[in-house]
Amino acid sequence: MVDFEYKIYGNAEKPQNLVVFIHGYKSSVDDIACEAEKLATLLPQAVVITPQSDKFHKNNNVREWYDVSHYDSEHKRRNPETPLEEVVEIYNQAGNDLCNQAPRINAFIDKWQEKYNIDDCHTYLVGFSQGATLAIYAGLCRERAVGGIFALSGIVAGKDSLEQNINSRPKIYMLHGKQDNIIQFKTLDFSVQWLQNHQIPVKGIKYDLLEHKINAEELQYIAETILNIKNTAYL
């Protein structure tokens, strides 16, 4: 199984927690470097690792975990007039791609868990945009529940495939800006409801003025949650 290139931040000697931070679509680890470094600063007992997709976007040198334009060449998912049900179905078509990427991300997680002797309860997934869809999918496919999944500006994608592959039920935090017009804010309620319907503990956190970006408030929320979390496994 092919490994990913990566960058590493924070306590790389004897960390107590492992945070895997997954970049988004048409992006790279360099685009989330500042955020990863900030998160590591807020979590002095954690190592933060950012894997980089080995799949290049077709039009330039940036990366993607899957090509969403293959299912939506007209960018209907970004059009505010597109009905929610149609947006959800566009992302549902990513199921096969997510199913293929999830074992690779989980193998990457396993490798770092073994290196640092960190169990799933002390492992956290953070993903932005397309990285959030992969964090959710991969996290729910793991045999044991991770400590938590933080999906920033994301959506439950590949839902029909995912519901056949749920093996654990970690708590998921869906953080979303109300001004997001890339993965539209109106999808948040769908994601929360879908997760609840599948007995997955979830919390939706809304940010009034936030567009399709990561802000300092979100990073602070993630850090405070990890620091205060009780490592309860949802099986």
pLDDT at 27 over 70: yes
At 143 the pLDDT is 97
Q: Per the structure block, which two tokens stand in for 187?
A: 């999808």
70 vs 179, more confident: 179
- Helix-then-strand count for the chain, H and E: 7, 7
Kindly give, in sequence order, each residue whose CB lies less than 8 Å from that of residue 42, ignoring residues fewer than 6 positions away. 219, 220, 222, 223
The whole-number average pLDDT for the span 211-217 is 97
Whole-Å CA distances, 131 to 24, 91, 155, 220, 233: 5, 13, 10, 19, 23
57: pLDDT confidence band, cut at 50, 70 and 90?
Answer: confident
What is the fold of 9-228? Rossmann fold (3.40.50)
At 61 the pLDDT is 74
At 177 the pLDDT is 97
137 vs 150: CA distance, rounded Å: 12
- Domain parsing of the chain, residue ranges: 9-228
Range in 2-6, 18-22, 162-166, 199-203 with the lowest mean pLDDT: 2-6
pLDDT tens digits, 180-198: 999 999 999 999 999 999 9
pLDDT at 2 over 80: no
Contact 201, 234 (CB under 8 A): yes
**What length is written for the chain?**
235
Kindly give, in sequence order, each residue whose CB lies less than 8 Å from that of residue 131, ignoring residues fewer than 6 positions away. 21, 22, 23, 24, 27, 65, 154
